Structure 1
Amino acid sequence: MIRIALIGLWICAVALGSLYFAVWQNTATAAVSAPVAKEALDVGKTEVFSVPIIVGGTVQGYVVSQLAYTLDKGAKDAMDVPVAYFINDEVFRQFYGHFSDTKDVQKIKFDDVKKSIIDGVNARFPKPLVQDLLVEQFNYITSKEIRDQNTKGLERP
């Protein structure tokens, strides 16, 4: 019986010792690391939206995307309208205007598209607002895939 109690005390001592060492190591590392300068940035996300890809007058598929963005906090505070509306509009203009006839969406260089979206949004404001644009979701769905999913389980004539 005493042996079991001693083993239990030993396990508790080892667990507490390792916890103390982990906390001490973490605080020592945090004190040594250089302080990170925080920029005045704000983050946000657009809603999930789709842009039709039209080739030869027919809808071939849809680009479905959701983007995250970083904004200059000072410029955002001066805004009354949510910036996501402007970003959604610019993304729609870019894809529907420039890439609406592109069937191979995977060949599009997103860095060029990202730069043109940021430039397009920032051109609408007196001060540059959007700092960076990040991809949360970016998919291409063909119209055949959508049709097959909508008619799943139904007999075709």
Structure 2
Amino acid sequence: MLKVLLIGLWVCLVSIGGVYLSVRMSQSSAEAAAAPVPVVSTVVRGTPLSMPVIKNGAVEGYFLGRISLSVDAEKSKKVQLPMDVMLTDELFSLLMGNPMIDLKNVGGFDPEKFRTKIKEGLNSKLGDAVVMNVMIEQLDYMSKDTIKSNSERRGNPIPPQKIVEGTPVEATPAPSH
């Protein structure tokens, strides 16, 4: 009789210990899951762009630029279109469809607002926060008169008007789509 009572007590202790350990282990895995996972980003280097500035039905000049993106590597794998194509579309919308740059007052151009507009526009099209950062490598303006003058002068061309002095971005392999 005493043996049966001790075996019952031993089974209860083992059961309580097992429940206690399983609860402790589930809490530690929940804490590990709640810890922030570092976001791995990749750079999508934009293609050089030459966009005409059209006023009153005539070409006034050209925007010359290159803008790159830092994107979430995992989220960008789910994107169907190439990111550089989407970036080009967004730039055409901002520079031609809804002009953000007043060529008469280039000093009033806000690069941070421009970056934010690009980032928000692309993320809204993608439906997720894929774009993490926008990097302006080059954004210049060259008037039609300057281009004509440069074609006539062979030795000493007039440089384009700098809108933003950017920094080159190291190319990294873009995720395949």
The alignment's TM-score, normalised by the length of structure 2, stands at 0.59
1:143 corresponds to: 144
Contact (CA 8 Å) 1:43, 1:68: kept in 2 or not?
yes
Letter in 2 for 1:94: L
Identity rate of aligned residues, in percent? 20
**Structure with the greater alpha carbon radius of gyration:** 2
Contact (CA 8 Å) 2:100, 2:114: kept in 1 or not?
no
Alignment of 1:98 with 2:105, yes or no, is: no
Please state whether the residue corresponding to 1:124 is helix, strand or coil: helix
Contact (CA 8 Å) 1:53, 1:102: kept in 2 or not?
no
C-alpha separation in 1, matches of 2:55 and 2:100: 7
Alignment of 1:83 with 2:83, yes or no, is: yes
C-alpha separation in 2, matches of 1:151 and 1:65: 24
Shift of 1:77: 1.4
C-alpha separation in 1, matches of 2:109 and 2:132: 22
1:126 corresponds to: 127
Change (3 A) 1:106 1:140: farther
Matches within 5 A, 1:30-45: 39-45=39-45
Change (3 A) 1:60 1:106: farther
The alignment's TM-score, normalised by the length of structure 1, stands at 0.66
Matches within 5 A, 1:6-25: none
Deviations 1:15-66 (A, max 9, x none): xxxxxxxxxxxxxxxxxxxxxx953111121111022223343322111110
1:59 corresponds to: 59
Letter in 1 for 2:87: I
1:12 corresponds to: none
Please state whether the residue corresponding to 2:44 is helix, strand or coil: strand
Q: Would you identify which runs of 4 or more consecutive aligned residues in structure 1 move more than 4 Å? A: none
Shift of 1:128: 1.5
Where in structure 2 are there 5+ consecutive unaligned residues? 1-36, 155-177
